[in-house]
Amino acid sequence: MRFSKSFTVDRSILDYLQRTRFNRSRSERRNELLRRAIIEEQYEVLEREAAEFFVVTGKADRAESGAFAAASRRSITRDGERPSCSTPL
């Protein structure tokens, strides 16, 4: 569905639309570029959210992770022996 809206656009943008529209109208080309810009912006937001999610918050978290890893190694390798496997690796 299309709606007619009025926007003020820089002359350089209009020139770019005219140069790159090929056999489409400037309106179609503008809509294509706006869709691409929206997708790009959404990806940037997702990247920021992922970076915030995976960031380590501090030394306490690293210490807890290290303690967990050490405890896991100890439970897997009781008394320094390799765990027995019922299936060959």
What is the full per-residue pLDDT of the chain (89 aa) written as tens digits?
A: 888 889 899 999 999 999 999 999 999 999 999 999 999 999 999 999 988 887 766 666 677 778 888 888 887 876 556 555 555 55
pLDDT at 9: 92
pLDDT at residue 86 in the model: 58
Q: What is the pLDDT of residue 38?
A: 97
Position 44 scores a pLDDT of: 97
DSSP string, the chain: ----------HHHHHHHHHH-TTS-HHHHHHHHHHHHHHHHHHHHHHHHHHHHH----HHHHHHHHHHHHHHHHHHTGGGPPPP-SS--
The pTM of the full predicted model, rounded to 2 decimals, is 0.58
